[in-house]
Structure 1
């Protein structure tokens, strides 16, 4: 009897490695060049080529081709503009050992051997430089670039990543992943934003959608690197006088962020099982009964009858159209969830999608990929890279929009359960390529279709869309939230999870996600003792109101309405939400700045105080716009916290009589009802009265809160219609308000508004609240002496009578209140000491 013969099966990869097929190569010399206008291509050994395309004098596109061929599978998913200066051109000066290119702002030196590129600023200071002989290291299809790492260099960015704001000494991977209840060291997460910035005032956007990696000195203290396992090796170098200028260049490259509807900057309520008409109506009624402002109620995926037919579940909604209409009359908008799949259980839709090629195929079978889905059974993944899918999906999603729904949150777009370990998903073939290339842009393509179809079918209406999984360029279509945060093992022990959301939100902003929110309360964990959880809930909410989009959300049927956590928690939460509504004109003005420049509303201090190295490590405080500094409490049971105040003079917003000089750390008392909040001296903060929802009060006064300083200051208030896309045509009103203090008086100037195709005729009053430590001797409005009156009389009918002016001084609060009509002309208020 013959014995079976055991045959050793050697993996093909091992054979390749033994033959050195994947041996590392790096061009050691580049000795020739071709110049065409603003594009220079350098010829290197082993047929490698490197293209430098100068977008203008500060921004350069690098494309390294190891085989000398500048080809790519797809045009960029992120880049929408390379025409920074179409007339720009360069000259190349060849020297014996190098080539030199001068742009006016930069000096680019290309060393012939060993090959490397160094970029200097106009003062001959090194901005960035390659490692000798290791500028580009290729191994098989993988390429890595290595840049010299300097001792003092710090890095920020990569969008929504966990951990400290400063990325120095850490490494990161871009692979959109569903990681519920993630820790502060978890990586990768939901979004891939391969854009970072250095304290040497440059940024890098690595435009490669594969599973790229970034190392900021973790494996070597000599260099930092970024690499891609496949695909075209393209990156953009952006230089500026500061990081704000770099962000503006990145915005110009990848597109401006859309503005949300004005009501989207209000308060919103959600939970995993908020998926019935009765519950939705009940929550809305309770908010109004308790006089807590709210604009949005979300419906999670359980609203839908089947994934994803966009039909309401009949057993959960009696009359969804009437529900939506009734809620709208009360100022409440409904946002619904959608998933990017078609369940096999929804047979008609499944057959239609499969027949028409709307689903991602399995390359092994040529049939739709069989995707296990967390609910609804196995499903097909909709192929949003297929142009034919767009109108089909648009028609489907329009059904609830026609019912009265106001927008979507696109969930599970990684697509869910397609994490690093899910290698079987790599057999998915999309219209635009294999999944290894498309994975990180799958959510982006979905969001693109959702927004483009919304705008096609709802002309000139602003889209509301908030997403979990995305890639660079997402800001053109959608907003973001940070996914499933919180402690799933013990919901009350989520303090570290809360603390991690603060730098994550700041980093999201640096990655051009200016409209962002955490899941307030944390998504994960069963809430079994509301009293025990109340402190964490309150502190999360106090941070969350300073997220541009503020949504409270939790998993399953864990209710997280403010009144559930006790009377004290409800009172504190209500006051915090009311503060958000009061600050709406201020927030909305910065929303416009985000659209114009890409600068975030919630921003790390280093953006405004780049020369202050203390700001590099501030992970638990941030600026809200330029004038407000927020230092949320993220530790349990603390009675005070330390706050770093940057350069300048700052006042305690909660008690403006307290003033602090900057460049120091102070101890600040933090009882549960207090949010550490500081305002820059000289600041002018536009506000509105507390309202149950955005726009609830007709002819509302424009409140101007002013903190006079010796140095003149100004603020330009931005206003537009609020819900249309006319802002993209610059239809708006801008009003510059100025403040100046002398030894004898405080002068406030409200300039004539700059109006462009915007109806600015609505009557209203200006209501000034000026911090003033002593009662004035006289208050004049355009040379007319104003009369002093009681606060009650001054405020009476402030949104219905528009020919009354006067003032009141509150000595206890050190506040001067002035009322005057907005006559749409230049107005001067003089306050004599």
Structure 2
């Protein structure tokens, strides 16, 4: 705060309103601090701290208590901002170039506004009950609420009291109130976010009593929350991920197809499966080994965490051979060490397990056997666990799968180094991901890790955590909940939420469901079919018809690699989710606030997955801000209307925004074979779009922090329509440690109604191919990215 510190003492009056704070809380005085202010009240003190003009944090400290702990979510440091106080007899208002905080003295209450518009206010504020501590806010009656992590409840979660306790829900379908990621986050249709910055378990009550009240309830911990605002939905998510951390870029291979099931029993089965992919020319980039890599049986072996040589006699050779075919190996791990496992005695001796009340390793029974739990909060346990991962990485393992990390069974009287089970339960998966992320940063600093985790917390994205939606049922109901779950998690910072494509639980052999799920998978973050082995999850083991259709979907996924990799870059830079709800396009369209059946994939794809059997037609809403083109037929559809679209077996309804550039790759069998210098760039021309600009990011796909290291190229694609001319421009920004290149680009311009009169490339006449049937104009372009390239087309 760049103004003199101040103290204001004021008289109190007894005025009560229905929106007022705890009536026993009396204002005493307020004092300025370097980053905000301290508000002294009769039962404690508020510390209010501005991080930026768009983020403010409030902590209540009851009398007789100290500030509890540090944040597990926040990494941003408060910035130097100008705070202007305006003090009157009954209120103290603090203005920034954005957020405003008003302290009403009589009766005491805190209000938050953004650029003069009301955002939210405390109601009863902090209250301590017999069993729970709560923080209570006022809601406006028309607000739609999102958040609380991964749930299947419908997009609008208002009216629910959501338990904050990470827990698996085996075989869920269209409704699941409690799942693996329970985040203490609320996002409002009024364009603000509240993040309750406290790790212990509790509840998030989104007006379940229908009295316009938001209530955060917890068993213990910090009384801290942040209010995050912005002008757009993208601004809010960007600000939140500034506060809690951006997701590192994934390795490019993570956008490819995964071969996965529960599970591959042997080295022979693993290699034979990949051979099957190769025989059918189905692209594949990774294979995931479930728990049979360390044991022959499901039960009794968890915690071995070393290669079971009876089944995998040449594990290292297998990994090397698969790598030679462009296929990475990922291994499952769990945080449980069974008393029957090979490492039990070592784990006890090294003192890496959580304890009981008298200091012995805490043991208990669950499905897999009698077990202890690795206490990742002990430095020596963290190092012990990391050494196992380091050994796997040295064997050539390219990715880590952390399963059961809620933890799946976590008795409340188990004690960790830093607190009770209930105090760390919701951050266990978060800190497990941190352990791996930091280990790679230390020991493999140039490598991008792949960290697949079933549970996490606010800010887990900064550790590269890739979440999935748990053990979804292999039914149409299971598929129907997936777009909602992914959209919600992307809004809460975890942009890579995805599902076990085809569904996980149950021996349901339904090829139509399987194909529709895999077609949806093309336009969601990670392409990973996975299921219990009674019915195969891999397309190469399904019917001839299902294989053919799945192969089409997978090949399209690979063709979209340049577009999709750019989404990875956007997420890394600004926190933008890969999947985006339609109300991001039309904030004034109330009907879209509870709509997840159609969504945006990146900026330019409108996707409407088929979520029911035998669907012959599908109703699709087209946002009014654009015209749209059918991705497969080029049929143009005017925005701002709902249209009944006929379906077909080969694809799900997919549309491209008018004015979009969609850059696509040539066919490949692995991302290892991706050629960034031989591309197709599709431009969707429409007279409604006079100017358009897009970017395509590229690097080597594997170096950690490539952008920060100046090892990248950023291609700028521009279109301008003026009178009878359409001008396309290519320009490249190249990092200082990245070489310029010669690119062969097939420029494909859609919706050209007549044969062009003339084409010039950098002022010289050039040839193109225009089709009277498709209305598509193709122009081959050789582009040296050290120079700009201009393609000028006379249309009439």
TM-score range, shorter-chain basis?
A: over 0.9
* CA spacing shift, 1:546–1:561, aligned 2, 3 Å: same
* Aligned length, in residue pairs: 765
Residue equivalent to 2:52: 56
CA contact (8 A) 1:28 1:113 kept: no
Residue equivalent to 1:549: 526
Q: How does 1:587-606 map to 2 (within 5 A)?
A: 587-606=564-583
Alignment of 1:769 onto 2:769: no
Return the match for 1:352 from 346, 369, 382: 346
Q: How does 1:680-759 map to 2 (within 5 A)?
A: 680-698=657-675, 700-709=677-686, 710-725=689-704, 726-751=706-731, 753-759=732-738
Deviation at 1:478, TM superposition (A): 3.1
Q: For the residues of structure 2 that align with 1:631 and 1:553, how far apart are their CA atoms? A: 22
Deviation at 1:89, TM superposition (A): 5.0
Q: For the residues of structure 1 that align with 2:64 and 2:794, how far apart are their CA atoms? A: 74
Gaps of 5+ in 1: 1-23, 419-424, 788-806
Q: For the residues of structure 1 that align with 2:710 and 2:302, how far apart are their CA atoms? A: 39
Deviations 1:16-35 (A, max 9, x none): xxxxxxxx976432231222
* CA spacing shift, 1:829–1:333, aligned 2, 3 Å: same
Return the match for 1:175 from 135, 159, 165: 165
Residue equivalent to 1:648: 625
Return the match for 2:762 from 766, 782, 794: 782
Deviation at 1:344, TM superposition (A): 1.6
Residue equivalent to 1:276: 266
Residue equivalent to 1:107: 100
Residue equivalent to 2:640: 663
Q: For the residues of structure 2 that align with 1:211 and 1:776, how far apart are their CA atoms? A: 65
Deviation at 1:62, TM superposition (A): 0.7
Partner secondary structure for residue 579 of structure 1: helix
Residue equivalent to 1:524: 505
CA contact (8 A) 2:276 2:540 kept: no
CA contact (8 A) 2:631 2:654 kept: yes
Partner secondary structure for residue 167 of structure 2: coil
CA contact (8 A) 1:156 1:167 kept: yes
CA contact (8 A) 1:467 1:478 kept: no
CA contact (8 A) 1:485 1:497 kept: no
Deviation at 1:216, TM superposition (A): 1.9
CA contact (8 A) 2:755 2:770 kept: yes
* CA spacing shift, 1:697–1:197, aligned 2, 3 Å: closer
Q: For the residues of structure 1 that align with 2:322 and 2:494, how far apart are their CA atoms? A: 29
Return the match for 1:316 from 304, 311, 314: 311
Residue equivalent to 1:30: 27
Deviation at 1:182, TM superposition (A): 2.0
CA contact (8 A) 2:73 2:458 kept: yes
C-alpha RMSD of the superposition? 1.9
Return the match for 1:511 from 492, 495, 503: 492
Partner secondary structure for residue 378 of structure 1: strand
Q: How does 1:3-402 map to 2 (within 5 A)?
A: 27-45=24-42, 47-67=43-63, 69-72=65-68, 74-83=69-78, 85=79, 87-123=80-116, 125-131=117-123, 134-140=124-130, 142-305=132-295, 306-347=301-342, 349-363=343-357, 365-375=358-368, 377-402=369-394
Deviation at 1:572, TM superposition (A): 1.5
Partner secondary structure for residue 324 of structure 1: helix
Return the match for 1:823 from 770, 784, 796: 784
Q: How does 1:553-568 map to 2 (within 5 A)?
A: 553-568=530-545
Q: For the residues of structure 2 that align with 1:601 and 1:740, how far apart are their CA atoms? A: 27
Deviations 1:503-553 (A, max 9, x none): 0011111111112320001110014xx4xx001101111111212111000
Partner secondary structure for residue 430 of structure 2: helix
Deviations 1:332-363 (A, max 9, x none): 1111101112222235x322322332110012
Partner secondary structure for residue 496 of structure 1: helix
* CA spacing shift, 1:703–1:27, aligned 2, 3 Å: farther
Which moves more between the two structures, 585-594 or 542-551? 542-551
Q: For the residues of structure 1 that align with 2:547 and 2:764, how far apart are their CA atoms? A: 45
TM-score (norm 1): 0.89
Q: For the residues of structure 1 that align with 2:266 and 2:469, how far apart are their CA atoms? A: 23
CA contact (8 A) 1:255 1:473 kept: yes
Q: For the residues of structure 2 that align with 1:144 and 1:459, how far apart are their CA atoms? A: 42
Deviations 1:433-485 (A, max 9, x none): 11111111111111111221123222310001110011112112233333434
CA contact (8 A) 2:628 2:639 kept: no
Deviations 1:286-336 (A, max 9, x none): 111111111111111111144334321122213111111111111111111
Residue equivalent to 1:442: 428
Q: For the residues of structure 1 that align with 2:100 and 2:435, how far apart are their CA atoms? A: 42
Deviation at 1:141, TM superposition (A): 5.8
Deviations 1:353-401 (A, max 9, x none): 22332110012x32111032432x3121111111222322222122222
Residue equivalent to 2:546: 569
Residue equivalent to 1:502: 483
Partner secondary structure for residue 696 of structure 2: strand
CA contact (8 A) 2:347 2:353 kept: yes
* CA spacing shift, 1:674–1:699, aligned 2, 3 Å: closer
* CA spacing shift, 1:398–1:657, aligned 2, 3 Å: closer
Q: For the residues of structure 1 that align with 2:757 and 2:366, how far apart are their CA atoms? A: 71
Partner secondary structure for residue 586 of structure 1: helix
Q: For the residues of structure 2 that align with 1:140 and 1:43, how far apart are their CA atoms? A: 24
Alignment of 1:458 onto 2:444: yes
TM-score (norm 2): 0.93
Which moves more between the two structures, 468-477 or 144-153? 144-153
* CA spacing shift, 1:697–1:140, aligned 2, 3 Å: closer
Deviation at 1:713, TM superposition (A): 0.4
Partner secondary structure for residue 749 of structure 1: strand
